[in-house]
Structure 1
Amino acid sequence: MQKKLKILHIIKSLGRGGAEKLIAETSRIHNRDKFEIYCIYFHQRPHHVIEELKSCGVHVTYFQAGNFGLLNQISRVSTYIKSQDIDLIHAHLPWAGILARLAGYHHEVPIIYTEHNVWHRYNKLTYFLNRLTYSMQDLVIAVSDEVAHAIKPFESLSFKNKNPKIITLQNAVDTAFFTKNIELGNQIKTSLSIPNKAFVVGNVAVFRKQKRLDIWIKEATKIWEKLPSTHFILVGDGPLLPLIQSMVNESPAAKNFHLVGIQHDVLPYLCAMDLFMISSAFEGLPIAMLEAMSCKIPIVSCQAGGIGEVIEPGKEGFLCTVENHDKLATLCLQALQDPSTLVLMGENARKKVKENFSLDKFASQLETIYQGTVQTTKKTAEE
């Protein structure tokens, strides 16, 4: 029997962010005759995906550490790699990527890193350490073409004289699960005292500066001023929750806002939405947007990161530039006031996701990448 490849995911936390959810989703459908999946994380977060990982056979290990403390875990992670006979490391997000490169450096274990962002958005220390360790990995997976184009090799600060290959592999979603269900949506509307026929504009996001939810609240209020029957659902939580809650309370449309917190299952809330509005300053490729599209929800968004690579204006939704975020309300109203176009854009959105962003296709591509990277490393070692 062929030996299973042992794949180790390294990530800072296992909260319900896009990267974390994607690990859980792909782990669920990977070929278990060929792969054994491990995962190390360092931050405890509420509403995590740990049980979901364990339920599909992933070996989950927790090493407690803060951001700077991650670097103190190098020896511990290195020992784990050796003791478990890991064949490949797949790191996610910058600090886990830095740790993975340093921990795996002496083991000749191939390292893959998924980059979700453009480097100039990182703080100076994160940026510097990314540069310093960049060539200590074998492959970089960019979640969008914009991210891929923004990544540059920095040989002058390298420990190894090599430039890792960069490929684009866009995020994916389980289209069989994320399917519009009117009954589920109506149940959420009833629970939130939203009339069944009222339009609902929503978003699913971590409440942090990048998402510009203060702008989201302002644009939503402008929509309400023109269509006062419209309701607004925000799914999520984060450090800016007090600010967002305060802004909602001060809005004249306060009664039409619904902050429902982090949800283990976002599908019912998506099913209650007619439009998905994104106000982010920057993005990689938001999985929540793909989940919404899979549920036939058109997108109105700032053209941040990979969003502009997915949404064709007038087909799956509408876009404005990041700087012209004050057009979001106008674009939402344009969609909401033309129900037939709203329905058509929703159909187009699901079609695009099914054709280009299916989870099965993504997992298959990832497995091919894993196998090819391990084989290349073994061949190089033999030479």
Structure 2
Amino acid sequence: MRILHVETGRHLYGGAYQVLQLLRGLADLGMENILVAPHDSAIVSEAAGYAQIHPVRMRGDLDPRLPLEIRRAIRSNRPHWVHVHSRRGADWWGGAIANALGIPAVITRRVDNPERAAVARIKYRWYRRVVAISSAIKEILKKEGIPSHKLVLIPSAVDTEAFGYPYPREDFLRRFQLQPNHLAVGMIAQFIPRKGHHLLLQAAPMIMEAFPNARFLLFGKGPLLPSVRRECENRGLDPFVRFVGYRQDLPRILPCLDLVVHPASMEGLGVSLIQAAAAGRAIVACRAGGIPEVVRDRFNGLLVEPGDVGGLAGAVNALLGDPGERRRMGETGRRWVHEHFSPGSMVSKYLTLYKETVSS
């Protein structure tokens, strides 16, 4: 059976990383995957062993070549299903084209920013099922007028075994210019407004006052990176902050951190949070979007209200000052992720979904 996937993201971040895991899992079960993706995207090379690649040369999400390429890929491959994983163009065209060609289509919604109800109803009418990666997103889709019978909850997943091989302590310290007494606080997120980097920098002086040995490791890339760098300099935080970019060795780094912070004001679910929990790290995050479905307050981390700088600093300080509680939350989170966010479970749910769309 053949599934044609559409993923237009250029970086192997949250959504594209989930698509890669799905392709791998489906291929292991004998499914045939076709991937429509930008020719210069990271997923193209990573997915080559699990899918036939249909590369697209496109300048952006609204490039008129995209619908033509989606149509060409469907007509030439005649898949049993079309699965659209992206928004801003692909979501509009993918379902409509598949429907016109008589192929059932499903779409996965990964973000929690609302759309106008009229727009959502038109766009999703062509899809047999709309997958939400969190209950928060599912509720948003209901409010946008998407019929309940179309909605399916399938959370994102991470390979927990990948986080079982951390760098030796000395190696980790050397890589990030840290001293043995430093407390490493990590934030793993794209540099975009809703992730809350500026909030962390505002809280940093209060954290440093209580823990002068705290050091902040900021992972990721994005358009706000220059702005965050400037704010870091203006606040005199340069000696205490490391901008470490996108790291493919993140599974070996995460278990070495003392704490993970995620002050996002909007979040569909938060793959980096699932990864942090899989690595056995306690987490401080904001009570926004699907975050509470991964970080349960006082269970595997602490939750604060979005935008609450003092609350964020207080929660970080509480856990930095209590290594035993950090360890307890870390172990609890690791078990929680293994039970609820495994790749095998995600792949199985999607496979069931595909079969249901054909029967419907």
TM tier, shorter chain? over 0.9
Secondary structure of the residue aligned to 1:9 is strand
Deviation at 1:139, TM superposition (A): 0.3
Deviation at 1:18, TM superposition (A): 0.6
| Matches of 2:4 and 2:143, distance apart in 1 | 24
Structure 1: which 5+ residue stretches go unaligned? Answer: 378-383
Deviation at 1:137, TM superposition (A): 0.5
Secondary structure of the residue aligned to 1:366 is helix
Deviation at 1:60, TM superposition (A): 4.1
| Matches of 1:89 and 1:242, distance apart in 2 | 38
Normalized against structure 1, the TM-score is what?
A: 0.87
RMSD across aligned positions (CA): 2.2
Contact 1:39–1:59 (Cα < 8 Å) also in 2:
yes
Normalized against structure 2, the TM-score is what?
A: 0.93
**Alignment counterpart, residue 150 of structure 1, candidates 137, 140, 143:** 140
| Matches of 1:283 and 1:150, distance apart in 2 | 12
Q: Are 1:254 and 2:238 matched, yes or no?
A: yes
| Matches of 2:259 and 2:320, distance apart in 1 | 8
| Matches of 1:26 and 1:216, distance apart in 2 | 33
Residue deviations 1:359-382 (CA, integer Å, cap 9, x gap): 1221122222222223x14xxxxx
The equivalences for 1:269-280 within 5 A come to 269-280=253-264
**Alignment counterpart, residue 86 of structure 2, candidates 93, 108, 124:** 93
Deviation at 1:181, TM superposition (A): 2.1
Number of aligned residues: 359
Residue deviations 1:273-312 (CA, integer Å, cap 9, x gap): 1111011110011111111111110110001111112222
- Structure 1 residues 58 and 287, CA, compared in 2 at 3 Å: closer, same or farther? farther
Contact 2:282–2:333 (Cα < 8 Å) also in 1:
yes
| Matches of 2:149 and 2:48, distance apart in 1 | 32
| Matches of 1:242 and 1:331, distance apart in 2 | 27
Partner residue of 1:172? 157
Residue deviations 1:290-337 (CA, integer Å, cap 9, x gap): 111111101100011111122221120100121434311110110110
Structure 2: which 5+ residue stretches go unaligned? Answer: none
Partner residue of 2:33? 37
Deviation at 1:260, TM superposition (A): 0.7
Secondary structure of the residue aligned to 1:260 is strand
**Alignment counterpart, residue 310 of structure 2, candidates 326, 347, 365:** 326
Partner residue of 1:49? 43
Q: Mean alpha-carbon deviation: is it higher for 203-212 or for 303-312?
A: 303-312
| Matches of 1:89 and 1:43, distance apart in 2 | 19
Secondary structure of the residue aligned to 2:288 is coil
| Matches of 2:100 and 2:144, distance apart in 1 | 21
Contact 1:134–1:154 (Cα < 8 Å) also in 2:
no
Partner residue of 1:102? 96
| Matches of 1:75 and 1:130, distance apart in 2 | 22
The equivalences for 1:91-240 within 5 A come to 91-95=84-88, 96-120=90-114, 129-152=119-142, 165-179=150-164, 181=166, 183=168, 186-240=170-224
Contact 2:282–2:330 (Cα < 8 Å) also in 1:
yes
Secondary structure of the residue aligned to 1:203 is strand
**Alignment counterpart, residue 321 of structure 2, candidates 337, 341, 350:** 337
The equivalences for 1:261-340 within 5 A come to 261-340=245-324
Contact 1:112–1:140 (Cα < 8 Å) also in 2:
yes
Secondary structure of the residue aligned to 2:152 is strand
- Structure 1 residues 65 and 153, CA, compared in 2 at 3 Å: closer, same or farther? farther
| Matches of 2:144 and 2:302, distance apart in 1 | 37
| Matches of 1:33 and 1:117, distance apart in 2 | 28
- Structure 1 residues 61 and 199, CA, compared in 2 at 3 Å: closer, same or farther? same
- Structure 1 residues 361 and 181, CA, compared in 2 at 3 Å: closer, same or farther? same
Contact 1:135–1:163 (Cα < 8 Å) also in 2:
no
Partner residue of 1:18? 14
- Counterpart of 2:130 in structure 1: which amino acid? V
| Matches of 1:247 and 1:153, distance apart in 2 | 38
Contact 1:190–1:196 (Cα < 8 Å) also in 2:
no
Residue deviations 1:162-210 (CA, integer Å, cap 9, x gap): 8761011111100111226251x54232122201332111011110111
Contact 1:142–1:168 (Cα < 8 Å) also in 2:
yes
Runs of 4+ residues deviating >6 angstroms: none
Contact 2:27–2:51 (Cα < 8 Å) also in 1:
no
Contact 2:167–2:253 (Cα < 8 Å) also in 1:
no
| Matches of 2:86 and 2:66, distance apart in 1 | 16
- Structure 1 residues 154 and 72, CA, compared in 2 at 3 Å: closer, same or farther? farther
